[in-house]
Amino acid sequence: MSAAATPVPLSRSEVFGQLRRELFEDEEFRQSDTHIFIILGASGDLAKKKIYPTLWWLFRDRLLPEDTHFVGFARSNLTVDDIRVHCLPYLKASEAEQEKLSRFFQRNSYLSGRYGEEESFRRLDAHLGALPRGAAANRLFYLALPPSVYQDVTRNIRHTCMSSKGWNRVIVEKPFGKDLESSDRLSQHLSTLFTEDQIYRIDHYLGKEMVQNLMVLRFGNRIFGPIWTRDSVACVVLTFKEPFGTQGRGGYFNEFGIIRDVMQNHLLQMLSLVAMEKPASTSSDDVRDEKVKVLKSVQPLSLDNVVLGQYVGEPNGEGEARLGYLDDETVPPDSSTPTFAAAVLYVQNERWDGESVSVGLCPCPCLAMH
């Protein structure tokens, strides 16, 4: 009896080849062969650290259609060279990749304008149409912006910038509103402008490799099935730390604070992945349904289980460690916005109920406390 053949792992290029075939054979995706990725808020922190680096990596690995263009839009008066300089520390491009990196930025353009001004978006539409085959291109609008401008921006997109032939998509970043009321108001507003299949609500934290691997770690290893319960786990602690301050983003951060900026989106997504049951499939709907079950099982948070704080500078520290939250010039000097929060949540379902299993959320986005 012959032994079973040992499966040979696919190489990196073979994996990317399969991904390319799956992407490019999709009929809806091929509505137009030209694609334009528009980054609204291109001068911001999210664009610099996450969006442009990700687009570069997709371009480098040939996971984007050949005829793809990238357009940045923001209030700042910048050039593509400025964008490249700002993003360079996060692109992780080797010396051997510099020529390809230059080709990537040759596909980029930038336009400055005001988010609430329709004329600025008319100029953006004219710019998109002037790109090669741009008038008929598929257009994807990424809103790397604070929720306070979502309504103006989406209204201007709908009225002035929609593709006449290709598909149109709008990606809305977290935080999706400031509270339940503003979230509902934003949902109602978007539904009057776009169909549901044109709207993507995303949390970029779910793109992190370790977060993506959580489901595989949990449900792909049978050893964890019987022990991932209240009988074997006393406590789960989720910790979010960053070794820098607001770095000029105080205007945004001071309006939202650490709970809205990190806890109610990034860390609750992590909590859901850790605590949920195995979904029926890996489809987005099935995964979402299991996450919702977890969140419905969480006890309302009481003030007795919350600690709030605001970071101050360390006089004997080095570099940024010497600066506290109020030392940022973009932060009001009398601000009481929390930059540290720790909370304990209790998940009351069959897997975790009984011996109270607590989940501690400890986002730490600034510097060590004095």
- Is 266 catalytic? The answer is yes
- Which string of b and e fits 11-43 if b means at least 16 CB within 10 Å? eeeeeeeeeeeeeeeeeeeeebbbbbbbbbbbb
Which of 69, 127, 266, 370 is the catalytic position? Answer: 266
How far, in Å, CA of 241 to CA of 222, rounded? 31
How far, in Å, CA of 281 to CA of 308, rounded? 38
For residue 170, the SS3 value is strand
Q: Pairing mode, if any, of strands 235-241 and 358-364?
A: parallel
Instruction: Name beta bridge partners: 108.
Output: 70
Report the C-alpha dihedral over residues 59, 61, 62, 65, rounded to 10 degrees: -50
Instruction: Name beta bridge partners: 71.
Output: 38, 109
Please provide residue 125's backbone torsions phi and psi, each rounded to the nearest 5 degrees. Answer: -65, -40
Residue with tokens 């700042």: 76
Question: What amino acid positions are annotated as catalytic residues?
Answer: 266
